[in-house]
Amino acid sequence: MRNSFLYIILVLMMMVWGFNIIAIKVVVTAFPAITITSLRVFIAFLAILPVLFYRKVFRKFTRQEFLFILGIAITGILGHQYLMSVGLKYTTAANGGLILGAVPIVTSIAASFFLGDRLTASRVVGLIFGFIGVASVMVSGASEAIVISRGDLYFCFAVFVQTVSFILVKKASATVDIALLTGMTQLIGSGFLFMLAVPSEPNGIQGLQHGTTVAWTLFLFSGIIATGVGHFVYNYAIQQVGAGKSALFLNLTPLFSVIGSYFFLGETIYAGQWLGFGLIVAGVTLGTGVMEQVIKKRDVPA
């Protein structure tokens, strides 16, 4: 797949992921959060299972490969999906989407330490801007008092574990087929989530019968398109162009989530949230090295 076409697909997937925040907000409100999340991730695995059979990529893993897969399942699936789904019960979809906008910055910094990407002064400044932006989002609201919600903290932890998973995906994809990597992490991760749901939500399965048609439709959209196809495409992008550059596109997700939360959920968007979004964009531009690349291109003689 050529990079230009891959970038177009990534933009479309970021739109899907932005609206997926709204979908998850509706789903975890209608159903027991952890139970439905485990089923959503399992549906994602079933969505790409035909690809695995078609490509005939099933094989035995080495010990290191299995440890990478286990690590991704724990961080990117169990950790990220749990924190995001439960967090949306305590915060708005707009706030959750904006806080996830910090992922590109954190990923860029992590890539410098663990993948050999160079850490420059502009990336450090970008990191500072990004965290100020996230803080602005977290303390914005109708009240003048500074209050950080429990859900916002969940999303901050979700940013961290997702970053770890992206680094592990880059390392694992050097030897493991990306479709197999995506499928196995989703299968294992959904199992972990269900084991967590059984003691924490004893009546979780029974609670599924109360869902509306809209909630079930959004569940299928989130599981098949956003989680199944979306994670496969994004993991492929990490393999092809790297974790840092792929993370740049995640900057689009908060914009779509804020727009969607305003139109579909009727959530109020405050000035501090827009300020935070602007700072996150500035942080991503600096933190992922985009500004450096622009300057270098301008300095190159025609």
How many angstroms separate the CA atoms of 23 and 227, rounded? 12
Residuewise pLDDT in 10s, the chain (302 residues) = 566 788 888 889 988 998 998 999 999 999 999 999 999 999 999 999 999 999 899 999 999 999 999 999 999 999 999 999 999 988 888 788 878 877 877 877 787 777 776 666 776 777 677 767 767 766 665 454 555 688 989 998 999 999 999 899 989 999 999 999 999 999 999 999 999 999 999 999 999 988 899 999 999 999 999 999 999 998 888 888 777 667 767 777 777 887 888 888 888 777 777 887 788 777 766 765 556 666 666 665 54
Return the C-alpha torsion angle 12, 37, 73, 45, nearest 10.
Answer: -60
Instruction: Tell me, yes or no, if the pTM score tops 0.85.
Output: no
Please identify which residue in the block is written with the tokens 């439960």: 86
CA distance 84 to 37: 10
Phi-psi region of 17 (alpha: psi -120 to 50; beta: other; left: phi over 0): alpha
Tokens of 226: 């956003």
Q: Find tokens 């479709």 and name the residue.
A: 179
What's the residue count for the chain? Answer: 302
Contact 117, 246 (CB under 8 A): no
Helix, strand, coil percentages (3-state) for the chain, rounded to 5, are: 80, 0, 20
Contact 46, 90 (CB under 8 A): no
Q: How many CB atoms lie within 10 A of CB 113?
A: 10
Q: For residues 126 and 110, what is the distance between their CA atoms, to the nearest angstrom?
A: 13
